[in-house]
Amino acid sequence: MDRINPGFLKMVRAPFLSSIITPLIIGTLLAIYVSEIFYVFNFFIVFIMGICLHIATNVYNDIYDTLQGTDKVNINRNEYSGGSGVLVDYPHLLPVMYRIARFSLGGALITSIVLLFRIHETLRIYLILLFFLSVFFSKYYTAAPIKLAYRGLGEFFVWLAFGPMAILVAAVSQNVGFHKLIIMAMPISGISTLSILLIGQMIDLDADKLTGKWGVAVRLGNKTTSYIYLFVQIFLCINMVILALLFLHNGWLLLLSLIPYVFLVPKIFIILIHNYLHPELLKKAAQLNVFLHLAFSLLFILSLVLILSL
């Protein structure tokens, strides 16, 4: 194999960083709505911290999925599931991947310390807990001996990390805690990211089953996972409607972010339910779902900006 470096962006799975960028922006905008104050430097710091933690998570996942054999036996890997495949194609980059992960955790630690001294004393305990939980998840989502994703806990912790935890840390960085708007928004971005994981598990079913990665698809089968996907997307829409009702003015603008759901979720579900045994056909559903995730995220952010502007 050619020893040419595949590139930093591929190594850190840069396209998936949207999963952390979205809740950080949403949590910040909601906090601004609540407090009517924007701490620009704090946002910059929490943004870097979140990116660093997500990079560490992506890289550690690739490292341990490769070392534990999952990525090596996955013949259905694609840009929407199955990891980057960097270490499968370039095994000599293992030390580099470790350095990226550790450097990213170092960056997250430095930024969290800076942020610690810029928020209210009463909120510091939340930042400390969220930071250490994030560091723990970044490595032990796939690493032994914990291996959360291999023990049927991956779905819950993906939702938790990219939903409640990410929204709350963004709000805390703006000196806002458990306000009702923050609480109601917490599940949403996590559900959107979870939907990507669910379809990815359906595509990766054979490899996950062979290596003991007991996600929902392995435990319940792809057909049942198709219905779970539909359920979580419906729950997200209901959650968005309730969140919109909590705004004092112009909350209806949030519902604009659901427009992509009207057109794409039925189409995605039809592909899933009719082709749940065919990985190659499921990749089309995965592609559409990633587009749905990005379109929804962008419209969610833009609708909050409009609410703040009007």
DSSP per residue, 63-118: HHHHHTTHHHH-TT-BTTBS---HHHH-GGGHHHHHHHHHHHHHHHHHHHHHHHTT
* Span 68-89, pLDDT tens digits: 877 677 667 777 766 777 888 8
Three-class SS of 105-162: HHHHHHHHHHHHCCCCHHHHHHHHHHHHHHHHHHHHCCCCCCCHHHHCCHHHHHHHHH
pLDDT, residue 210, reads 85
* Span 14-30, pLDDT tens digits: 888 989 999 999 999 99
pLDDT, residue 292, reads 97
Question: Which two three-digit tokens encode residue 212?
Answer: 């003991």
Of 210, 226, 202, 221, the closest CA to residue 278 belongs to: 202
Partners of residue 78 on adjacent β-strands: 81
Out of 54-63, 72-81, 94-103, 184-193, least confident range: 72-81
226, 272 Cβ separation under 8 angstroms: yes
H or E element: which one contains 191? helix 180-203
User: What's the pLDDT band for 1 if we cut at 50, 70, 90?
Assistant: very low
**178 by DSSP, 3-state: which?**
coil
Would you say residue 198 has pLDDT above 90?
Answer: yes
144, 68 Cβ separation under 8 angstroms: yes
pLDDT, residue 69, reads 74
Task: Name the more confident of 307 and 215.
Answer: 307
pLDDT, residue 248, reads 85
198, 217 Cβ separation under 8 angstroms: yes
**308 by DSSP, 3-state: which?**
helix
pLDDT, residue 149, reads 86
Would you say residue 2 has pLDDT above 70?
Answer: no
Within 8 A by CB and 6+ apart from 294, the residues are 18
* Span 128-158, pLDDT tens digits: 999 999 999 999 988 888 988 888 888 999 9
Partners of residue 81 on adjacent β-strands: 78
Would you say residue 117 has pLDDT above 80?
Answer: yes
Average pLDDT, the chain: 92
- Taking only Cα atoms into account, the Rg of the chain, rounded to an integer number of angstroms, comes to 19
User: What's the pLDDT band for 287 if we cut at 50, 70, 90?
Assistant: very high
- Measured between alpha carbons, how far is residue 193 from residues 113, 161, 162 in Å? 28, 10, 7
Burial environment of residue 65 by CB neighbours within 10 A (0 to 12, 13 to 18, 19 or more): buried
pLDDT, residue 82, reads 63
pLDDT, residue 194, reads 95
Within 8 A by CB and 6+ apart from 307, the residues are 33, 247, 249, 250, 251, 253, 254
Sign of CA dihedral 289, 243, 132, 106: positive
pLDDT, residue 262, reads 95
